[in-house]
Amino acid sequence: MDQDFKNQERIHEFLQGDLKGAALKAFQADLRKDANLQEDLAFSRAMMTTLKNKEILAANHQLKTIIAGKTITPDFDALKEFEGGGSSSGGGSIGKWLLGGMLGISLLAIGLFASGIFTPFTSNETSNHLVVSHLVPFENVISIAGESSPNLEKGMAAYENGDYITAIPLFNAYLKKAYDPNVQFYLGLSHLLNQESAIAIPLLERVVDTSAPPVLSVAKWYLSLAYIEEGQIPAAKVSLQELQANPDYTDRAITILNSINQTLQ
């Protein structure tokens, strides 16, 4: 009983980040050889995850209960209807993008970092993990009015469908006629989402250099993720530190900066 107590307390302190120095080393040494301690730690982590995400767990449990015993089979014909049908904004002609007041980072972009300790990953694994955790497509916020531009319209439709390979040449074709930082943003983001962060970086840097808020902040956010993915940590830190001043980004910028400081230094 006493040993169990001690272990619980040590696990609690470990998860809180309160174990330091010799106590931390001793705990890690015990952990390597004690299967019960490993199991207890895994349980505590799972319990913390559950407590922190009760609402999602509740929805998941409800869903699991509802679909239990139901069988679905893939419907490729139904898929075809959607693959070609992603209209970016309801038709009409393309003119100005109204990004200003419409910009709001999607809820999906909010990182839900637990407060645990980062364990020994290599830099590459950690930076990829950090980026994947936070990288989600930015919503299509184009408002179409005025002149028509099939390249942009089709490009945004492809982007919205997650088809970045199709979107990229269409954005490029549009940008050949005239530079538009908003289109350039979606071009850079498409490259980033298509796992081409090295290509995304100069494109997004140009957006940062040529945009005003709020586009500037959105571009900086994705540029920071691209920097991290490419291992350009000092540049990422500068960009994230600048973003902290924007209340929309303060929390997530701090979260990533903390992660960088703990794992990538």
Nearer to other proteins, 48 or 199 (CB): 48
Stretch that binds other proteins, among 58-66, 173-181, 219-227, 233-241 (CB under 8 A): 58-66
Class of residue 45 by CB neighbours under 10 A (exposed 0-12, middle 13-18, buried 19+): middle
Distance, in Å, from the CA atom of 121 to the CA atom of 114, rounded to the nearest integer, reads 17
Binding positions for other proteins, 105-144, rule CB under 8 A: 106-108, 110-114, 116-121, 125, 128-130, 132-137
Residue 11 CB, nearest approach to other proteins (Å): 10
Binding positions for other proteins, 64-83, rule CB under 8 A: 64, 66-67, 70, 72-76, 78-79, 81-83
Residue 243 Cα to chain centre, angstroms: 16
Residue 209 CB, nearest approach to other proteins (Å): 28
Q: How many Cβ atoms from other residues are within 10 Å of residue 135's Cβ?
A: 20
Residue 29 CB, nearest approach to other proteins (Å): 10
The binder of other proteins chosen from 51, 68, 69, 234 (CB under 8 A): 51
Residue 27 CB, nearest approach to other proteins (Å): 10
Q: How far is CA 95 from CA 174, 183, 259, in A?
A: 12, 12, 41
The answer to whether the CB of 158 falls within 8 A of the CB of 170 is yes
Distance, in Å, from the CA atom of 244 to the CA atom of 238, rounded to the nearest integer, reads 10
Q: Does 20 bind other proteins (CB under 8 A)?
A: no
Query: Count residues contacting other proteins (CB under 8 A)?
Result: 82
Binding positions for other proteins, 214-233, rule CB under 8 A: none
Q: Does 199 bind other proteins (CB under 8 A)?
A: no
Residue 255 CB, nearest approach to other proteins (Å): 9
The answer to whether the CB of 193 falls within 8 A of the CB of 135 is yes
The binder of other proteins chosen from 193, 200, 219, 226 (CB under 8 A): 193
Q: Where are the alpha helices (DSSP H) in the chain?
A: 2-16, 21-33, 35-52, 54-67, 76-83, 123-134, 150-160, 164-177, 181-193, 197-210, 215-229, 233-243, 250-263
Record the tokens describing residue 61, joined without a space: 């449990």
H or E stretch including 116? Answer: none
The binder of other proteins chosen from 24, 48, 98, 257 (CB under 8 A): 48
Stretch that binds other proteins, among 30-38, 91-99, 147-155, 215-223 (CB under 8 A): 30-38
Stretch that binds other proteins, among 143-151, 157-165, 183-191, 213-221 (CB under 8 A): 157-165
3-state class (DSSP) for residue 109: helix
Distance, in Å, from the CA atom of 223 to the CA atom of 217, rounded to the nearest integer, reads 10
Residue 58 CB, nearest approach to other proteins (Å): 7
Nearer to other proteins, 7 or 149 (CB): 7
